[in-house]
Structure 1
Amino acid sequence: MPSNHKLAADLLAKAKKLNQEDPLASFKSEFLLPQNVIYVDGNSLGPLSKAAKNRAVEVVEQQWGNSLISSWNVHDWINLPTTVGNKIAKLIGAAPNTVICCDSISVNLFKLLSAALLLSAKQAADDKTDARTLILSQKDNFPTDLYMVQGLGQLLNSGTQTKLELMSVDSKDITRSIEEHGHRIAVLMLTHVNFRNGDIHDLQALTELAHAKGILVLWDLAHSAGVLPLALEECEVDFAVGCTYKYLNGGPGAPGFAYVAERLLPDLQQPLSGWLGHKKPFDFEHDYEKAAGIEQLLCGTPSIISMSVLDAALDMFETISVSDLRAKSIALNDFFQSCVEQINASYSPSDSPLVLACNEQAQMRGSQISYKHPHAYAICQALISEGVISDFRSPDILRIGFSPLFLHFTDMLNAALILTSIVRTKRYTQPQFLIKNKVT
């Protein structure tokens, strides 16, 4: 505890008051969280909800166990990708039947990038202009997004004259790059919330700027869906992808989702033309004919157990507004930051302090806070050993996530007390905390 006992008492009183005023406080009881654990890593993997666990048991024991293959009809397994997609659509401001749940972010990126390039090429041919060959992104985008462009480029550039290029720039240079190179850019591909520092792009402004230059826009919503207000249809976003195992609490390896604006669906062509994306999949015809709607993004048989679990997890959001989730996210974020700063200030300065590695204002960040420290990995491991589960991002970032549905403000205070104590006493220097695990 801080040497200033009055500070400790004041912070605890404030945390309890914030808990009492929190309209989402009761949702914590809907999760199966371990005792004596403060889980601030829901931005990497959301915890198990009671509804999700019950559904898993039901699907395995009753649906699969008793109904067997008839479950595709009896329990409507066949429509789960669109059923779940429509639940997600409500959370991201998308129109009904424009979101499909399937595959992973990486696979869905490949589909949508390919489809966007085909649409861009068709537009260039119609306009009798040169084909656009650039995909614009930013240097510190999540690596899988950049890797998928690089892989797609290797595939498309083999033996062709038109060379697809990834143009990755600093965040501050995105607007300038659009203005200077817009006539060559086919797709603007950005992640709405930066995974390291939590920076939030202005989705509407960048989409409008890109469209003014004839550029299609693809947003990665991995750190946005379920915690930030989004309005994809209103902002006329072309494409989006996202995952469901973070703030949507769908479970490890839960399927991703893909969004396509309704206006683009008739002309969409994606290269992974699997049988369930066919117009009449159970006619088993020789030649492919795509489904008319968002179902054309389906490939193979969906993962029913994981998608059913996700379906149950999403039911929790039916009675919650995303604006309330965002308000609590900011409040948790702000209170934790304030606790760390006030506790640190009550002691003499440390010779290896935590340095804020994100915007100072909680409302300008996603649902996370990031600190830079040369021993961030060891600090993270020391936190875990004391029941505060956070995460590390290379090379030196300690990341704390704020999931509004299961965190209380007293959790934030306790996490701040443990974090500041570990850094101040340098407990992170113990040998067991320096061993790197395969998953960091």
Structure 2
Amino acid sequence: MSDAAGPGAGSSTAAAELDARDELAHRRKDFVLDDGTVYLDGNSLGALPRSVPARLAEVVEQEWGRLRIRSWSESGWWSAPERIGDRIAPLVGAGEGQIVVGDSTSVNVFKAVVGAVRIARGEDAEHGVGPSPAARGSGGRDEILVDAATFPTDGYIARSAARMTGATVRAVPVSGMGAAAGANTAAVLVNHVDYRTGELHDLRSLTADVHRAGGRVVWDVCHSAGALPVELDAYEADFAVGCTYKFLNGGPGAPAFLYVRRELQPRFDTPLPGWTSHADPFAMSDGYVPAEGAVRGRVGTPDILSMLALEESLKVWEGVAVSAVRAKSLALTDFFLQQLHAYVPDGRAGRLRLRSLTPEAHERRGSQISLLCETEGHDGTDVAEELMARLHERGIVGDFRRPGVLRFGFTPLYTSFGDADRAAKVLAELVHARGDG
């Protein structure tokens, strides 16, 4: 399908015009990208910021290689988890002193869910061990609600947290979570953006509903941090957990972050008390006394190499407004869908149909487009896997999820409208070849 003929003719000109007006276009040069590749998998692993290799070399050669142990104080290693947390804070609508960086997303989800249950029951650090009279009178708040479509690990962690706290887990569709929260609800674990469909959930209203029921909310913001406004403080989120290797571009296995709302920090009783979250870590005392503030979200020795790579990566956000990122994200995903619809009318090609699982409404859309492959009598999984493999061969990098879902992540700091147009064209060519063949 050429640029000059067929459905979507002139689309390259339209893409070029949009790119010329893009206020974030200059940020693309800050990333390591191949000219021949359209990278639409930043919702799984963000691209490498160009300044990171030199910074890592400095850390290895100078801070580790020459200063060695002195770098914990002289190079600021010890304070990195909180310092980097404060860099992330404005990207998720949080004030300083409420985010600590370290450990994996899964570990932080565990800390947050157990901490939320303990606070809801009054079994928290401020009130001491054992449920408060209010908690006993309400049946002990023995239920954890989880997003029925959650990323599998979140469900695994929630069930483990339930076993530790004597609670039960109930899976509920996000649309019904507010109504499902009641007198027995201790904690609710929910994804801000559905990893599979790209649907954006209403953080503000759900948090308010759960609070009215007396429960606490843990938000998984892995697919929204760095892609759209999150507003943790404004909407009074209790806890939030996010990874940093997706839209924040921190690198593979980069440490996650944990947000604990300031008012709840004195009550946060972590299930993983470690020496670096002790009020006096170098006293090496037998008894655990938690530090004040977000520091109590730490556990063990910080993972310095990946943490400092993340810190350098976050410099690409200097001077960038999250509102501008959101505006471009919506424009990119609109344009991609518009072009795809032009090339594949009604999403149909012979026996193959593509159907968007991502809501059209902007207020319900994250920064990805998920397309369900459907074929006559099949769920489309094999077709989706084949199409994604062919896309990779043609230089279009996305991913797929069973059953039959093609996922394309749009990272506004480096994705161009030309990228979106090229991806739509190549996908359309492959769909027509597969469906009409």
TM-score (norm 1): 0.92
Alpha-carbon deviations, 1:228-283, whole Å to 9, x = none?
A: 11211111111110000000000000000000011111121112111101111112
The corresponding residue for 2:132 is: 125
SS in 1 for 2:413: coil
Q: 1:4 to 1:13 in 2, by over 3 A?
A: closer
The corresponding residue for 1:411 is: 419
SS in 2 for 1:398: strand
Identity among equivalent positions (%) equals: 37
Compute the displacement of 1:360 (Å).
Answer: 2.6
Question: 1:392 and 2:400 equivalent?
Answer: yes
Q: 1:368 to 1:47 in 2, by over 3 A?
A: same
Alpha-carbon deviations, 1:72-106, whole Å to 9, x = none?
A: 11110111100110011111111211000010111
Q: Distance in 2 between matches of 1:352 and 1:427?
A: 5
SS in 2 for 1:219: strand
The corresponding residue for 1:41 is: 41
SS in 2 for 1:266: helix
Alpha-carbon deviations, 1:297-336, whole Å to 9, x = none?
A: 1111111010000001111112100000000000110001
Compute the displacement of 1:34 (Å).
Answer: 2.3
Q: 1:413 to 1:189 in 2, by over 3 A?
A: same
The corresponding residue for 1:312 is: 312
Alpha-carbon deviations, 1:117-151, whole Å to 9, x = none?
A: 11122176242512001111221111111100112
CA contact 2:351–2:435 (8 Å) conserved in 1: no
Where do 1:167-246 residues align within 5 Å?
A: 167-178=170-181, 182-246=182-246
Q: Distance in 2 between matches of 1:88 and 1:418?
A: 36
Where does the alignment leave 5 or more consecutive residues of structure 1 unmatched? 157-162, 430-440
Q: Distance in 2 between matches of 1:247 and 1:63?
A: 28
Q: What value does the CA root-mean-square deviation take over the aligned residues?
A: 1.9
The corresponding residue for 1:95 is: 95
The corresponding residue for 1:432 is: none
Compute the displacement of 1:4 (Å).
Answer: 6.9
The corresponding residue for 1:327 is: 327
Q: Distance in 2 between matches of 1:213 and 1:118?
A: 16
Q: Distance in 2 between matches of 1:274 and 1:53?
A: 31
Give the count of matched residue pairs: 420
Compute the displacement of 1:358 (Å).
Answer: 2.1
Q: 1:347 to 1:244 in 2, by over 3 A?
A: closer
Compute the displacement of 1:217 (Å).
Answer: 0.9
Bigger Cα displacement from structure 2, 1-10 vs 303-312: 1-10
Q: In structure 1, give the amino acid aligned to 2:406.
A: L
The corresponding residue for 1:380 is: 388
Q: 1:322 to 1:366 in 2, by over 3 A?
A: same
The corresponding residue for 1:164 is: 167
Compute the displacement of 1:362 (Å).
Answer: 4.7
Q: In structure 2, give the amino acid aligned to 1:137.
A: V
CA contact 2:350–2:436 (8 Å) conserved in 1: no
The corresponding residue for 1:72 is: 72
Q: In structure 1, give the amino acid aligned to 2:384.
A: A
Q: In structure 1, give the amino acid aligned to 2:49.
A: S
Q: 1:30 to 1:143 in 2, by over 3 A?
A: same
Bigger Cα displacement from structure 2, 98-107 vs 66-75: 66-75
Q: Distance in 2 between matches of 1:32 and 1:308?
A: 18
CA contact 1:2–1:347 (8 Å) conserved in 2: no
Q: Distance in 2 between matches of 1:172 and 1:89?
A: 28
Q: Distance in 2 between matches of 1:51 and 1:353?
A: 42
SS in 1 for 2:269: coil
CA contact 1:2–1:8 (8 Å) conserved in 2: no
Q: Distance in 2 between matches of 1:363 and 1:174?
A: 18
The corresponding residue for 2:376 is: none
Compute the displacement of 1:199 (Å).
Answer: 1.1
SS in 2 for 1:167: strand
Q: In structure 1, give the amino acid aligned to 2:40.
A: V
TM-score (norm 2): 0.92
CA contact 2:226–2:322 (8 Å) conserved in 1: yes
CA contact 1:3–1:347 (8 Å) conserved in 2: no
The corresponding residue for 2:297 is: 297
CA contact 2:49–2:316 (8 Å) conserved in 1: no
Q: Larger % of helix: which?
A: 1
